[in-house]
Amino acid sequence: MNSKTSNVSIVQRWKLTIAESTFEDLILSQGLIVITSDEYLQQRLNNLSVVINNSYFSEISWEEVGDDGGGIINSRTKLIGNNLRSGRTASLFSVILKNSYLSFLSGYQTSAIYTGKESLYSNIMLITNNNFKSIAVDSPGAIINPSWSPLDYFYSFFSEQQQLEVSPSFRIDSNNFYNITARNGAILSWTSAQKEISVIFHNNSLEKMVVYEGRGVFYMNDTNLVATKKALLNITNSSFDTIFAITGGILLAPGSPNLIQCYISDSVIQSIIVSASGGIVSTASTIFMIVSTTILSRRLLDSTTPGEVALSNNSFNKLSATDGGIIYDLSSNQTINILLVNNTIREVQVLKRGGIAYVNQPYLFMVNNMISSITAIVSGSVIYARSDKLLLINQHNKFENANFDTAFVFSPTNLKIEVFNLMDESLISLENYSDTLTSIPNLPNLTSYSLGQLRMTFTLVYAGASGVRTAIDESLNPGLILVFTHLNSNATPQVYPKSVCRGSVCTIVASTITLAGKAGDMYLVNATYESVAYALSQQFTITLRECIPGELNQTFTEQCVPCPQEKYSLQPNDTACSECPAGAKCLGGGNISIRKGYYRSPNATSLTILPCKDDGRCLGV
């Protein structure tokens, strides 16, 4: 159908009706119905009408379709859509597919039902009261791909006209979908850098959906850098059963989170298996990889209202994911509102974190939900938050068998430092170490060899408004590296090599590090924890003491050298350690004891050991 608009003196109509027809055993290289236009007038094709009613399509395949795609309907114009009304409220659509049966359709590099050039307008297609069975494509969007050929511009006057429109781009109503397979978006895949989309999905039944590259039943990616209107997906009174995806079981919206509106209500959703994140909705943004940070920041700040994901009055049952059993969101600065209201949530299993939600900094509103049998094996059986700047409203929810000490968990923020004396396992107090672990602590009174006598532990913790909690890291072989920098010299920093940690705790005896320097000098220590899941750094300082009895003050190397066993020194300015005299036990450094039957002369400047004639009084010390 060539919708020519170049003859402006004639009000033209382009109308096609297919009814009670059969299309079977076809191999096509283009769309079954192809819609084109010369686009002489940049106006809606209000006079275009394609109606398919009560027809049968089976065993049709599209091969080598080329750049324009194929499918039952193939639109090659950006003018498809209209703003006419059939009554006071009901809108007309350019294409209507109703009361038909479509089965065993396959597409190579095309969607099976609608493949189109991105349109400037709404009211593109109505799909109602059809049965879809065994449809498989190797491209995005098994049923609909409305952005097969994206817009390369979008004039402002189009945008102004769009402000007046409230009609959907696509309405999908009262259909049955069974055994649908696609690369991304089993029902719809849409990506745009120019214009928003609106999809109404009402009273549909879906069973056995496979998205083998993993991007949801609906894939909606808004990469527009200037738009303020939001992409809309409104799902009501529908059922979803047995869906396999990698991320975002129902919806994956990887664009900017402030430009998405997703509403799912009064629906039954069960047996959703997501191998990665977001059992129902994932808004994990990838836009950071395609635009500069400056542009993105300006875009988020200029947005007057946040995006929204609202799940209400639904039944969720038998969901599984790696992170985020229902919601996975990495948005920042409250750029999205997430609402869970009046839902029944049962049997959700998450292999890692966030039984209900894995989030960063959204506004999260949870009210009147019935929640039971929720498991997150690693952490956060209800909520796992990467930031304690999360705004959480948690009211009137009923949790069955929930442990609230582990139900709401935050991502680690610090490494908690503890130092123990290896001689007696006593805990050494750190100076300037606040209860919130936000300060840089100081480890005082060390000398050149002290680190070999201490055990330092570094524990992965969250420290913030909700207190201090140990964080769990299930990663294989997480490690810690220590870098010691002498702040009072230009010496090359010393690195203690990576140590393997266990159970979020790293234990180190840094015996190979020598703390050379004068009394009062300081070292800055950078402790860096790295694993597949986390990367954190923590600083602390070390203050050196002066040499003490039992040590030789080697001024050339700026080290205090302890006397070994069987030798001793009483003055730090001694040039050598002396042999241990008879009757004494020299245990190293200044640790000297007296044997039984001897006593020590009271002269503090020398070690004089004399035999004792009164064995009852000289018992040794």
Q: What is the pLDDT of residues 192-215, one digit of tens each?
A: 877 889 999 999 999 999 998 778
Which residues 6+ apart lie within 8 Å of 560 measured at CB? Answer: 447, 448, 449, 546, 547, 548, 551, 552, 553, 554, 572
| pLDDT(469) > 90 | no
What average pLDDT does the segment 432-457 reach?
A: 92
Is residue 343 assigned to a domain?
A: no
Is residue 346 assigned to a domain?
A: no
- 3-class secondary structure, 162: helix
* 531 and 561, same domain (yes or no): no
Is residue 402 assigned to a domain?
A: no
Is residue 287 assigned to a domain?
A: no
* 540 and 560, same domain (yes or no): no
Is residue 617 assigned to a domain?
A: no
Global pTM? 0.81
What average pLDDT does the segment 448-456 reach?
A: 95
Which domain-ending residue is among 516, 544, 572? 544
In whole numbers, what is the pLDDT of the chain averaged over residues? Answer: 87
Is residue 484 assigned to a domain?
A: yes
pLDDT of residue 228: 58
Among 185-199, 281-295, 505-519, 588-602, the range with the most confident prediction by mean pLDDT is 505-519
Under the banding of pLDDT at 50, 70 and 90, the label for residue 621 is low
User: Which amino acid would we find at residue 346?
Assistant: R
* 519 and 591, same domain (yes or no): no
How far is residue 16's CA from residue 47's CA, in Å, rounded to a whole number? Answer: 11
| Closest to 526 in 3D by CA, of 516, 544, 513 | 513
Where is pLDDT greater, at 474 or 323?
Answer: 323
* 568 and 510, same domain (yes or no): no
pLDDT of residue 612: 84
Report yes or no: 76 and 36 within 8 Å, Cβ to Cβ.
yes
* 464 and 519, same domain (yes or no): yes
> How many structural domains compose the chain?
3
Under the banding of pLDDT at 50, 70 and 90, the label for residue 112 is very high
pLDDT of residue 224: 67
Give the domain CATH number at 502.
2.60.40.10
Which domain-ending residue is among 147, 173, 199? 173
What average pLDDT does the segment 486-491 reach?
A: 94
| pLDDT(546) > 50 | yes
For the chain, percent of residues with pLDDT exceeding 90: 57
DSSP assignment, residue 580?
Answer: P
Which domain-ending residue is among 154, 173, 192? 173
Is residue 89 assigned to a domain?
A: yes
What average pLDDT does the segment 15-21 reach?
A: 94
* 35 and 167, same domain (yes or no): yes
| pLDDT(519) > 90 | yes
| pLDDT(295) > 50 | no
Count of Cβ atoms closer than 10 Å to residue 388 Cβ: 15
Q: What is the pLDDT of residues 114-167, one digit of tens each?
A: 999 999 889 999 999 999 999 999 999 999 999 988 887 654 444 434 433 468
What average pLDDT does the segment 417-429 reach?
A: 95
How far is residue 113's CA from residue 71's CA, in Å, rounded to a whole number? Answer: 5
The residue range of the domain holding 428 is 414-544
pLDDT of residue 151: 81
* 566 and 433, same domain (yes or no): no
* 581 and 483, same domain (yes or no): no
What average pLDDT does the segment 290-294 reach?
A: 35
**How much of the chain is helix, strand and coil, in % rounded to 5?**
5, 50, 45
* 489 and 576, same domain (yes or no): no
pLDDT of residue 160: 39
Among 179-183, 192-196, 324-328, name the one with the lowest average pLDDT: 192-196
pLDDT of residue 12: 61
Q: HSE (CB half, 13 Å, CA atoms) of 281?
A: 29
How far is residue 465's CA from residue 388's CA, in Å, rounded to a whole number? Answer: 7
What average pLDDT does the segment 364-373 reach?
A: 93
* 432 and 537, same domain (yes or no): yes
Under the banding of pLDDT at 50, 70 and 90, the label for residue 296 is very low
Q: What is the pLDDT of residues 396-420, one digit of tens each?
A: 899 887 776 678 888 898 999 999 9
Q: What is the pLDDT of residues 95-107, one digit of tens each?
A: 999 999 999 999 9
Q: What is the pLDDT of residues 62-110, one digit of tens each?
A: 998 888 889 999 999 999 988 776 655 556 899 999 999 999 999 998 9
* 54 and 164, same domain (yes or no): yes
Q: Which two tokens stand for residue 20?
A: 């009670």
| Closest to 284 in 3D by CA, of 246, 235, 244, 314 | 246
pLDDT of residue 293: 36
pLDDT of residue 9: 44
* 528 and 583, same domain (yes or no): no
Among 165-179, 493-507, 605-619, name the one with the lowest average pLDDT: 605-619
| pLDDT(310) > 50 | yes
How far is residue 158's CA from residue 137's CA, in Å, rounded to a whole number? Answer: 33
Is residue 232 assigned to a domain?
A: no
- Beta-sheet strand order (sheet of 315-323): 22-28, 56-62, 101-107, 131-137, 176-184, 205-215, 239-245, 268-274, 315-323, 344-353, 370-376, 398-399
Which residues 6+ apart lie within 8 Å of 355 measured at CB? Answer: 325, 348, 374, 375, 376, 380, 381, 382, 383, 407
